[in-house]
């Protein structure tokens, strides 16, 4: 069976070495030694000034919206994983969708200002498949209208834009460390920001609001990453060069051998050093996609329809027509991509796609 992705598992002996530290310390959670070490290593690897690791990739989004949402309207993209929209609704805010760019697949920055009202409090945009939004224009719009910017950067581990970590843009950026991601802690995520006040608010918000054992800054939740999860992150991180090289080889093979006279693919924004997180292809129509998907499934190859459906069609949001997002969502398919996907399997995938 070939799934759309496959979790990278480091040598079990190396993971066990990290676990033995936990047993020695007798410290399972509540920001232990391994978690603190992982955060420091991530700062160095990613070239960021702050990182707060959390227990999944959605909690950082919830915390960011708790800080900035104020029950207002949040301008967002309809083309993302459902967490981007569901978090807005969960935090008692209202998603206001802006359609996407047909080539970059990120929010169309030229349409943002028209969606701003007196109720708008923030922009929550997704760097889709690790492809950066137009961060300079979005920052200028946010500054002009006194809005906060949150980036759902779930796919962006290691991505740089114009030589700078993509996590350094916006008021807050979030990332997922889920098992399906380029870098993972099994389950987990992180919040990044360059503002010390926002960093403090985010930090205490993920730890029940604690200032000390008996004092509190304010309301908070339990968003802490455990030592077991940190152990996985510490074991995976040294393998990032191997992981990225393997994924790049798969991407290069797809790029060279797929028939792009009948397919489209996402355009990377200039200045992006990418992490090969996903490989989406866009078919001429949904019927062709379904035919290809059925043929692949028949030989136990399982690509995935990221992202489908377009989020503006969810049953718990107000219906807004988003023609580009809806069209792309119907026709896009992410192909299998992981670091040890072998050439024979890649060739089989390509052969089936090109046939149809």
Contact, 19 vs 228, CB < 8 A? yes
Q: Using CA atoms in the order 211, 215, 221, 222, what is the torsion angle rounded to 10 degrees? A: 70
Q: What own/partner pairs with CB < 8 Å and gap ≥ 24 does 67-70 have?
A: 67/148, 67/172, 67/198, 67/201, 67/202, 67/205, 68/121, 68/122, 68/148, 68/150, 68/171, 68/172, 69/93, 69/121, 69/122, 70/121
State the pLDDT at residue 21: 98
Contact, 279 vs 264, CB < 8 A? no
Question: Sorting pLDDT into bands at 50, 70 and 90, what band is 240?
Answer: very high
For the chain, report the end-to-end CA distance as a whole number of angstroms: 21
6 phi/psi in degrees, rounded to 5: -145, 130
Domain ranges for the chain, please list them.
2-238, 240-355
Q: Is the pLDDT of residue 318 over 90?
A: no
Q: 276 to each of 4, 127, 157, how far by Cα in Å? A: 13, 13, 10
State the pLDDT at residue 111: 98
Helices (H), 93-207: 112-115, 135-145, 196-205
Q: Which of 153, 167, 218 is nearest to 50 (CA)?
A: 167
Class of domain 2-238: alpha beta
- When computed from its CA atoms, the radius of gyration of the chain, rounded to whole angstroms, is 20
Tens of pLDDT, residues 115-144: 999 999 999 999 999 999 999 999 999 999
Contact, 74 vs 123, CB < 8 A? yes
> What interhelical angle do 343-355 and 240-257 show, nearest 10?
30
Q: How much is the average pLDDT of 182-194?
A: 98
Q: Tokens 């219906």 correspond to what residue?
A: 319
CA dist., res. 219 & res. 214, Å (int): 14
CA dist., res. 163 & res. 140, Å (int): 20
**Model pTM score:** 0.97
Tens of pLDDT, residues 50-72: 999 999 999 999 999 999 999 99
CB atoms within 10 A of CB 336: 21
**Per-chain mean pLDDT for the chain:** 97
Q: Is the pLDDT of residue 214 over 90?
A: yes
Instruction: Indicate the pairing of strand 189-192 with strand 164-165.
Output: unpaired
Give the domain 240-355 fold: 3.90.1150
Q: How many CA atoms lie within 13 A of 323 on its CB side?
A: 0
Q: Is the pLDDT of residue 319 over 90?
A: no
Query: Is residue 226 left, alpha or beta, with left meaning phi > 0 and alpha meaning psi from -120 to 50?
Result: beta
DSSP H or E stretch at residue 180: none
Q: How much is the average pLDDT of 325-337?
A: 98
Q: How much is the average pLDDT of 90-117?
A: 98
Tens of pLDDT, residues 131-180: 999 999 999 999 999 999 999 999 999 999 999 999 999 999 999 999 99
State the pLDDT at residue 7: 98
CA dist., res. 19 & res. 26, Å (int): 10
Report the DSSP beta bridge partners of residue 222: 207
CA dist., res. 148 & res. 139, Å (int): 9
> Would you give the DSSP letter of residue 143?
H
């Amino acid at each position: 069976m070939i799934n759309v992705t496959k979790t990278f598992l480091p040598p079990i002996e190396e993971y066990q070495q990290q676990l033995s530290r936990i047993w020695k310390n007798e410290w399972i959670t509540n920001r232990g030694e391994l978690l603190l070490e992982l955060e420091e290593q991530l700062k160095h690897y990613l070239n960021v000034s702050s990182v707060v690791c959390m227990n999944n990739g959605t909690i950082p989004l919830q915390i960011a919206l708790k800080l900035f949402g104020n029950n207002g309207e949040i301008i967002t993209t309809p083309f993302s994983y459902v967490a981007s929209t569901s978090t807005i609704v969960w935090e008692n805010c209202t998603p206001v969708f802006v359609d996407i760019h047909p080539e970059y697949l990120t929010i169309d920055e030229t349409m943002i200002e028209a969606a701003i009202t007196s109720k708008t409090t923030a922009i929550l945009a997704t760097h889709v498949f690790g492809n950066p939004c137009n961060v300079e224009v979005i920052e200028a719009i946010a500054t002009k209208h006194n809005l906060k910017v949150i980036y759902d950067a779930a796919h962006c581990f290691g991505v740089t834009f114009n030589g700078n970590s993509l996590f350094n843009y916006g008021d807050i950026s979030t990332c997922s460390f889920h098992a399906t991601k380029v870098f993972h802690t099994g389950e987990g995520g992180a919040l990044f920001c360059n503002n010390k006040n926002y960093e403090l608010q985010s930090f205490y918000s993920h730890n029940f609001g604690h200032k000390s054992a008996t004092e509190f800054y304010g309301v908070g939740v339990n968003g802490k990453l455990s030592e077991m999860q940190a152990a996985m992150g510490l074991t995976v991180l040294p393998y990032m060069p191997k992981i990225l090289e393997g994924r790049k080889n798969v991407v290069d093979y797809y790029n060279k051998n797929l028939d792009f006279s009948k397919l489209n693919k996402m355009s990377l924004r200039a200045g992006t050093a990418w992490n090969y997180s996903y490989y989406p292809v866009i078919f001429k129509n949904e019927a062709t996609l379904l035919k290809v998907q059925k043929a692949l499934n028949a030989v136990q190859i399982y690509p995935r329809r990221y992202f489908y459906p377009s989020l503006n069609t969810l049953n718990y949001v107000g219906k807004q027509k988003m023609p580009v997002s809806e069209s792309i969502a119907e026709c896009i398919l992410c192909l299998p991509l992981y670091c040890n996907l072998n050439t024979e399997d890649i060739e089989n995938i390509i052969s089936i796609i090109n046939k149809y």
